[in-house]
Chain A
Amino acid sequence: DVKVTQSSRYLVKRTGEKVFLECVQDMDHENMFWYRQDPGLGLRLIYFSYDVKMKEKGDIPEGYSVSREKKERFSLILESASTNQTSMYLCASSPDRINTIYFGEGSWLTVV
C-alpha cells in the first residue's frame, strides 16, 4: 500500500513563528502536493512538485514556500505564521500525471 506520512498531526504555533510541515512518501512517486482544507472551501492546492528541486505554485501559494531536496520528501514552510493559516494541511503524492493521488492523514495547524 502507498503510504504518505505527515510527521506532525497536531501543532500549535505562535503568530510570526516559522513552521515546517514534513511529508514523506514510500512509493517512489514522482509528484508531490500540498493542499489546505478548510470547511466550506474544500481542498485548495498550495504548491506541487513534479521532480526533485522543482516546484510549482498552486492556487493559494501566498505565505507559503516548499522544499523538495529528496524525491521522497516534500516540506511545506510557513515563513511567518499568521492566524489565517490555521487549517488542516494535506500532503499527497502520485506516480504519474494521470492524477490518481494518495493523501496523508493531514496536519492540523493552529496559529495563536
Chain B
Amino acid sequence: DAKTTQPPSMDCAEGRAANLPCNHSTISGNEYVYWYRQIHSQGPQYIIHGLKNNETNEMASLIITEDRKSSTLILPHATLRDTAVYYCIVRVPSSNTGKLIFGQGTTLQVKP
C-alpha cells in the first residue's frame, strides 16, 4: 500500500470550508484514496473514497489531482462536530489482506 503524508494539525473556523490535504506520490494505478475520521473516543468512520475522478457525498468532497499524487478532502461547511483526526489511506480495493494501514492523520480543530 502506498504511503501517505498529511499535516499533523489544522484549524478551521466554524461554517467555513475545511480543506485537508494528503500526499501520496507513490500511489499506483489501481490504488484508491480513502478518507476516514475518528472523533474523540469513537471508532474510525468512513467518509469517502475515489480513484481519479472527484467525488462528492453527503459528508464531503474529494478532489484528486490529475497525476493522482495528492488529494484534498473538503468539508464544505465545517461544524464543531467535525473536530476529529482525519486519515487518508491508499490501497487496492481487491487486496486479499483486507487490512487498513492508518498513518498519523490530521487533527482538525473547528473553532467557533
The answer on A and B forming one complex is no
Q: Which residues of B contact A (CB under 8 A)?
A: none
